[in-house]
């Protein structure tokens, strides 16, 4: 098993944090950019170290460019999300590996600025539940056994379950970084 770097450098549990910049690739009513901050847990299967169940929790901040006579911040919102799925990883040397994840789950988007209020008033909070799916590729530099630095191109699909908030149903592309600490 020492000849196979996947078995020789196997780990029990990985915990990571990530940052990703996303841009829509489908046509939507608004122009915007998104920043995703996430945490994830990865548990490689002991009997098949190439595959790992993955849990990802995070926040997507969406900054929307206003159109027509709308206020600049009207549609800005945060989406809190949770995704679960599986990842595949293949290490081709001590320091490098590649792989990908397929994840599915949901989120809650919260809109704070839909209604204009006076300065001393607290704006009402509106929200919607979303379906979210993601496919992520990964190439990683592993400078030590316990540390993995991943560059991750990804596709992310999000759709509101409420038709009144479907302005941002989209497919996005992004590139991010994920730093993972590995136990074992």
Instruction: Please report, for residues 55, 83, 148, the alpha-carbon distance to residue 132 in angstroms, rounded to integers and kept in the order given.
Output: 13, 8, 26
Q: Which residues of the chain have a pLDDT value below 70?
A: 1-2, 66-72
The predicted structure's pLDDT at residue 2: 58
Q: Structure tokens of 182?
A: 């590995």
* Whether the model pTM is above 0.85: yes
Q: Are 148 and 142 in contact (CB under 8 A)?
A: yes
- CA 121 – CA 123 distance, rounded (Å): 6
What pLDDT sits at residue 63?
87
């Amino acid at each position: 098993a020492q000849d196979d770097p996947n078995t020789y450098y196997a780990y029990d549990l990985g915990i990571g944090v990530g940052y990703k910049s996303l841009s829509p690739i489908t046509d939507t009513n608004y122009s915007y950019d998104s920043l995703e901050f996430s945490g994830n847990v990865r548990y490689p299967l002991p009997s098949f170290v190439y595959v790992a169940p993955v849990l990802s929790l995070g926040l997507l901040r969406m900054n929307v460019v206003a159109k027509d006579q709308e206020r600049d911040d009207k549609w800005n919102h945060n989406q809190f999300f949770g995704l679960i799925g599986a990842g595949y990883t293949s290490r081709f040397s001590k320091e490098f590996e590649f792989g990908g994840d397929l994840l599915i789950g949901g989120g809650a988007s919260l809109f704070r600025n839909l209604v204009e209020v006076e300065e001393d008033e607290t704006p009402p909070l509106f929200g919607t539940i979303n379906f979210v799916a993601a496919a992520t590729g990964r190439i990683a530099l592993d400078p030590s056994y316990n540390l993995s630095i991943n560059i991750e191109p990804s596709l992310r699909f999000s759709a509101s379950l409420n038709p009144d908030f479907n302005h941002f149903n989209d497919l996005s592309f992004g590139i991010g970084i994920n730093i993972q600490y590995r136990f074992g």
